[in-house]
Amino acid sequence: MNTYPLRPTFAQIDLGILKGNVVAIRSLVKPAKVLVMLKANAYGHGVEGVAPYIEPFVDQIGVAILDEGIALRKLGISKPILVAGGTLPALVRYYLQYDLTLTVSSYEILEVAEQVASAAGKKIKIHIKIDTGMERSGIRWYESHPFLEKSLECQNLDIEGIYTHFANSETLEDGLVDKKPAFSYASQQLSRFEEALAFYRQTGVPTPRLRHTANSAAILNLPESYYDMVRPGVMFYGVYPDDEVKRPIRIEPAMTWRSSLVYSKRTLAGNPVSYGSLWAPKQDTNIGTIPCGYADGYFRRMSGQPYILVNGKPYPQVGRICMDQCMVDLGQDNAGLGSEVILLGKHPTTGQRITAENLAQWAGTNPYEVMTNVSARVPRVFVNEEADKRL
């Protein structure tokens, strides 16, 4: 597990921290089940290492696209896998072949799933998606009852779940509802979801076994949204989804993006650094070169804004970030070839930290994009520091 790559730049993933985050989430939402989202290469953390380790500690796994679900099965993952994104009729047969849970958002996919399952003499497990205000996918809540009635006619479908997705559950809005903080649009979406669920009460038909609505922000802000299962995404990886969310539990980031200096030189005052000659030192200074650039996901648009930890101390990144390299101004400090670099994460000795939120601010985006854009050519190294301490 601790085999390090030839490349100096790599992302170190602490699996023990991920487990600790799951334990914390479970303690908050119990008795609800926990489905962790491993889409987008486990939010950039490396699904090949994260999935096999975390599988015993979760109830289900979620992905965005069919290919991700198939890849998990080929990794040997046996837990239920919900594919949350949409699909095409011709692809439905793969859900049966790989025992994946199909999200059904339209009459057409419902009918095709029933036909495919009937022809195979097997059942396809489905979750019905209700659109309560995202306007992205799903049956609109005010049109849901005829659809739910139609679903009951499908004898070859195992309707395990029904769910919706929040458009905004991050921000506490002004006002109080029953002396509780009001999240007006998210609360409205919950009410619409209940309108859809009313179909089962009115018909006397049992509700699907798994009702779920809560993403990371809703887990933190809206306990009433837990239902039978929650779907942590970004918080599983140790990042809070927004500055304004409540923080009833502590989570820790699992990724440390590491590198090393591969060159260090004295640059004279007035000599510009990197493409475009955008920056030059006002006095003689030491410039270090780091083998990481925008092809690795260290965004070019951040040029001149970040600080980078070298031997645990923060230094400004200077000049334009290149495809494969970036430069850091070491001032009058000496840091030689091979000096330790942290682009994201906490230095264990000095306590200095660069967060996903920092990178997001410098790049003008959010932490989700920061993590999922750490490119495939950055090796993932999986460690378990808590387990190592016990050895």
Q: What is the 3-state secondary structure (H, E, C) of 177-210?
A: ECCEEECHHHHHHHHHHHHHHHHHHHHCCCCCCE
Give the pLDDT band (50/70/90) at residue 2. low
Output the average pLDDT for the chain.
94
Distances (CA, A) of 253 to 16, 168, 230, 239: 11, 23, 20, 6
Question: Global pTM?
Answer: 0.93
pLDDT at 389: 53
Contact 12, 379 (CB under 8 A): no
300 pLDDT tier (thresholds 50, 70, 90): very high
Catalytic residue among 4, 107, 142, 275: 275
Residue 285 reports pLDDT greater than 90: yes
pLDDT-derived band at 309 (thresholds 50, 70, 90) equals very high
Q: Is the pLDDT of residue 232 over 90?
A: yes
Average pLDDT over residues 324-346: 97
Are the beta carbons of 193 and 213 closer than 8 angstroms? yes
pLDDT band at 390 (very low <50, low <70, confident <90, very high): very low
Mean pLDDT of 284-302: 98
Closest CA to 104 of 122, 86, 81: 86
- Provide, rounded to the nearest whole percent, the portion of the chain with pLDDT above 70: 95
Nearest to 104 by CA among 139, 133, 56, 146: 139
pLDDT tens-place string over residues 44-98: 999 999 999 999 999 999 999 999 999 999 999 999 999 999 999 999 999 999 9
Whether the upstream peptide bond of residue 31 has omega within 30° of 0, thus cis, is: yes
Provide the pLDDT for residue 174. Answer: 45
**Interval 148-187: pLDDT, tens:** 999 999 999 999 999 999 998 887 664 444 545 556 889 9
Is 39 part of the annotated catalytic residue set? yes
| The two three-digit tokens of residue 264, written as one number | 């260090």
Please say if the pLDDT value at position 22 is more than 60.
yes
Cβ proximity of 326 and 306 under 8 Å:
no
- Note the pLDDT of residue 169: 85
Percent of the chain with pLDDT over 90: 90
pLDDT of residue 3: 61
Q: What is the pLDDT of residue 388?
A: 57
Spacing of C-alpha 267 from chain mean position: 40
pLDDT, residue 183, reads 65
Catalytic-residue membership of 30: no
Out of 19, 39, 125, 129, the active site residue is 39
Confidence of residue 243 (pLDDT cuts 50, 70, 90): confident
Is pLDDT of 15 > 70?
yes
pLDDT tens-digit map of 179-211: 455 568 899 999 999 999 999 999 999 999 999
Q: Which residues pair with 307 in a beta bridge?
A: 316
The answer on pLDDT for 391 being more than 70 is no
Domains and CATH numbers, the chain: 32-237 (3.20.20.10), 255-390 (2.40.37.10)
